Amino acid sequence: MAFFNVFKAVLCAYFISVVFGHGITLKPHQRECFYENLRNNDQMSVTYQTNVGGDQLVSMSIYNPAGQIMHQEVPNSMAQYSFTVKNPGKYMYCFYNDALDGESKEVLFNVHGVIYISDEDLDANNPLLGKVRQLHDTISKVKHEQEYFVARERIHRNTAESTNDRVKWWSILQTVILVSVCVFQIFYLKRLFEVKRVV
């Protein structure tokens, strides 16, 4: 019987928390929206960051089921917003490329949701179920942080590679200029010391 309760708790905990990782490309002045159906006391967290593209500034808006703006993020390269649902229904979150630089941007975002399950839904008298639920929530948070750090590592790698390319081409340009100046000086000095004969 105890094994069955633990199995039931693990199965419930599997469905308690949901994490989605997505990536989209936003063209200049493009808006992309996504929907989530949420119930009372559900918790939802949206984290985003831009990977590549221009100034990497993207804004995010979250709308409640009535279509009113709950939260509007100013254009940023990364941000996070969390909330607890008070009114059940379809919640919408949108990303918008303000395109101040006129370039497309790649946006990586995670949606981390915790579905509320009351103590009546679980066996409140079994402390093991509560521990399993708490453990699952902790694991979900760790997974969410890992996805965040993977995305950050990708951004830093792209920045390092871009900087490396710029340094390489700048060095090549400096070498070409230096060789050109040396060749010019050689020919100029050679002409300066030429003996001019008067006939």
Amino acid 125: pLDDT: 57
User: Residue 183: what pLDDT?
Assistant: 93
Nearest of 113, 112, 70, 115 to residue 94 by alpha carbon: 70
Instruction: Give the C-alpha distances (Å, rounded to integers) separating 181 from 150, 166, 190, 196.
Output: 47, 22, 14, 25
pLDDT band, very low/low/confident/very high, at 5 (cuts 50, 70, 90): very low
What pLDDT does residue 196 have?
A: 65
Q: What is the pLDDT of residues 91-143, one digit of tens each?
A: 999 999 886 777 888 888 888 766 555 555 555 556 676 677 778 778 877 88
3-class SS of residue 164: helix
Question: Tokens 């409640």 correspond to what residue?
Answer: 64
Stretch (H or E) spanning 127: helix 127-192
Q: Which residues is 94 bridged to in the sheet?
A: 33, 61
Which pLDDT value is given to residue 21?
58
Where are the domains positioned within the chain? 2-155
Inter-axis angle of helices 127-192 and 2-16, to 10 degrees? 40
Q: Which CATH superfamily is domain 2-155 in?
A: GOLD domain (2.60.120.680)
Cα 192 to chain centroid, rounded: 63
- In this prediction, residue 158 carries a pLDDT of 83
**Two tokens, residue 93:** 């979150």
Place of tokens 């941000």: 79
Look at residue 127 in the predicted model and tell me its pLDDT.
67
pLDDT digits (tens, 9 = 90+) for 30-77: 889 998 888 888 888 888 888 766 677 888 999 999 888 988 888 888
- pLDDT, greater one: 26 or 114: 26
